Amino acid sequence: MMLATLLLAAAAQDATLSANNYAVDEVMPAHLPAVLWSDEFNGARLDKAKWSFDTSRNKEGWYNKELQYYAADRPENLRLENGRLVIELRKDPQLIRKRPDWGKQKYSSAKIVTRGKAAFKFGFFEASAKLPCTRGSWPAFWMMPQGSAPWPDGGEIDILEHVGSQPNVVHANLHTGLFNHTKGTGRGAQKALPTACSAFHRYQLSWTPDAITIGVDDRAYMRVRNDQPGVRGAWPFDTPFYLILNLAMGGDWAGAKGLDDEALPQRFEVDYVRVYEMAPPTTDGKE
Catalytic residue among 66, 126, 161, 287: 161
Report the distance separating Cα 28 and Cα 215, nearest Å.
Answer: 7
Report the distance separating Cα 168 and Cα 109, nearest Å.
Answer: 22
**DSSP conformation class of 282:** P
Catalytic residue among 156, 262, 269, 277: 156
Report the distance separating Cα 219 and Cα 99, nearest Å.
Answer: 43
Q: Is 156 known to be catalytic?
A: yes
CB distance 63 to 252 below 8 Å? no
Q: Is 161 known to be catalytic?
A: yes
Here the contacts of 120-123 (C-beta below 8 Å, separation 24 or greater) are: 120/36, 120/37, 120/240, 120/241, 120/242, 120/243, 120/275, 121/238, 121/239, 121/240, 121/241, 122/207, 122/208, 122/209, 122/278, 123/31, 123/36, 123/207, 123/275, 123/276, 123/277, 123/278
C-alpha distances in angstroms, 247 versus 2, 20, 112, 146? 11, 22, 10, 21
Q: Please return the burial class of 25, using the count of CB atoms within 10 Å of its CB with bins 0-12, 13-18 and 19+.
A: exposed
First to last CA, the chain: 27
Q: Please give the positions annotated as active site.
A: 156, 161
